[in-house]
Amino acid sequence: MTDQKPYGPPPDAIPLSDAMKEYVPAEMWEEHARATEARKNAPKRPSYLSMSVRDWQDAKDSHAAANRTRSARADLHRVWNGMLAAMKAKLETGELTAFGQEDPPFGPWHAIPAPAWRQLRITNVRKGEASVGSNIVHDIHILPPDADDHMPTGTPGRPKKGIDIIRIEFQRRVDAGEIAESLAAEARALQAWYRETYPRRDCPTTKTIENNLREAWRAVRLRTA
């Protein structure tokens, strides 16, 4: 069995920033453009320390303008949060699939299971970052619907069958010391991972997983005995 690790997202995946432009509804982007323009045109808040006595009356008038500035800023923030929520909704339902990297530049790449987006928060669209607690996923790429969801592995060709993808995840679990105590338990864990990560694809049975990983499992147990 190969010990090659995935070195990037699927070839058809696009950066999170591009995916936002592609999959967030156009009317939300139009609202964002209007809110951005309103924020840019809002009057600046007056500096009371630099005013003379005769300027105070003008400052009263400027106070209303300052309130409009705060309102424009809050409106832009509201619109942007709505756009992030729309993107997350597509990821939570599995309509779109995300891939990200741990500990760049050399950390492994993984598909992000759809249920994980219930806790993940998009923190930087330009850098493609999302986090939950102290855990950060980097360089997030989004796979368009019905696109090829196989990650490159550093070997000729790419995995085409579910069991090939499961082999890669099994090797990752071996390297991370996460394997279960028995082959049957490992097969169940891998099947659950596959169903969460690839909800639109047919999943191999636990018996198929066991049969395909039996030799590799025995080799791992001998090394760690």
Q: Does residue 123 form part of some domain?
A: no
Over 50: is that where the pLDDT of 154 sits? no
Task: For residue range 116-151, list pLDDT tens digits in order.
Answer: 898 999 999 999 999 988 889 999 999 877 655 555
Q: Does residue 176 form part of some domain?
A: yes
Q: For residue 106, give the DSSP letter.
A: T
Angle value at C-alpha 142, between 157 and 35, nearest 5 degrees: 160
Q: How many domains does the chain have?
A: 2
Indicate if the alpha-carbon torsion angle 170, 4, 132, 119 is positive or negative: negative
Residue-wise burial string across 205-220, b where 16 or more C-beta atoms lie within 10 A, e elsewhere: ebeebbebbeeebeeb
Q: Does residue 185 form part of some domain?
A: yes
How far is Cα 161 from Cα 166, in angstroms, rounded to an integer?
9
Q: Which residue has the higher pLDDT, 70 or 91?
A: 91
Residue ending a domain, among 36, 55, 89, is 89
Q: Does residue 220 form part of some domain?
A: yes
Task: For residue range 10-53, list pLDDT tens digits in order.
Answer: 888 899 999 999 999 999 999 999 988 888 887 665 555 555 55
For residue 100, what is the enclosing H or E element?
A: strand 97-101
Over 60: is that where the pLDDT of 88 sits? yes
Q: Does residue 3 form part of some domain?
A: no
Residue ending a domain, among 29, 64, 89, is 89
Average pLDDT over residues 64-87: 83
Secondary structure (3-state) at 220: helix
> What radius of gyration, in Å, describes the C-alpha atoms of the chain?
25
Q: Does residue 180 form part of some domain?
A: yes
Query: Which of these ranges, 106-120, 145-159, 211-225, has the smallest mean pLDDT?
Result: 145-159
- How many CA atoms lie within 13 Å of 204's alpha carbon, on the beta-carbon side? 23
pLDDT band, very low/low/confident/very high, at 7 (cuts 50, 70, 90): low
Domain interval for residue 171: 162-224
